[in-house]
Amino acid sequence: MIFRPTVLAVESANLLNQFTPLVLLDRAQALGTDRLQDLAYAPLGLVSIGYDIQQVVYAFYLLAAGYLVFKSTFVPRVIGVLLVLGAVAYLIYSFASFLAPAFSAQLVPYIQLPSLIGEASLSLSLLAVGVNVRRWREQASQARHMGVTPAEALA
């Protein structure tokens, strides 16, 4: 999936904003104190914007993962629904943070609960129960006999 490398790239670029003040403070003699403080503080404001952008990309990844979990039937389908609800919560919070920062501050921590429940349920389900091995083998054998790819067998 293309979403994971994209999230990694956006998050890595966002980390550069946290190192910019250190570079500026290293050249403290060349700039005045007031100007140096303003320049050092400005990139830190960009960190939250970069985080919101990263959350939008991650939400689309979570939407795709939720859909795949729902369609696969190897884990309970309700987990796919919970993942999609978590993705919608990420999107709501990110766009609210862009458009109405004061309102988005009031959403925390409540807006984070759907994503916590969805992602934790997937993790705990895979750790405690695992996948439905019998179903996995049935679909794999059907795919082999029909001469189709595993992705086509799921459709």
Model confidence, pTM:
0.74
Alpha-carbon distance of 5 to 14, in angstroms, equals 14
User: What pLDDT, on the 0 to 100 scale, is given for residue 98?
Assistant: 86
Convert the pLDDT of each residue in 18-42 to its tens digit. Answer: 777 777 777 666 667 777 777 777 7
**φ, ψ (nearest 5 deg) of residue 64:** -65, -40
Convert the pLDDT of each residue in 112-151 to its tens digit. Answer: 899 999 999 999 998 988 877 887 788 777 767 776 665 6
User: What pLDDT, on the 0 to 100 scale, is given for residue 117?
Assistant: 94
Alpha-carbon distance of 108 to 96, in angstroms, equals 11
Inform me whether the pLDDT recorded for 92 exceeds 60. yes
User: What pLDDT, on the 0 to 100 scale, is given for residue 60?
Assistant: 92
Mean per-residue pLDDT, 95-105: 89
Range scoring the smallest mean pLDDT among 26-35, 60-69, 72-81: 26-35
**φ, ψ (nearest 5 deg) of residue 135:** -65, -40
Cβ burial of 57 (10 Å; 0-12, 13-18, 19+) is: buried
**In the structure encoding, which two tokens stand for residue 103, read together?**
């309102």
Inform me whether the pLDDT recorded for 91 exceeds 90. yes
Per this entry, what is the length of the chain?
A: 155
Q: Which residues, other chains included, contact 150 with Cβ-Cβ below 8 Å and sequence gap of 6+?
A: 139, 140, 143
User: What pLDDT, on the 0 to 100 scale, is given for residue 151?
Assistant: 60
Q: Which residues, other chains included, contact 122 with Cβ-Cβ below 8 Å and sequence gap of 6+?
A: 69, 75, 79, 82, 83
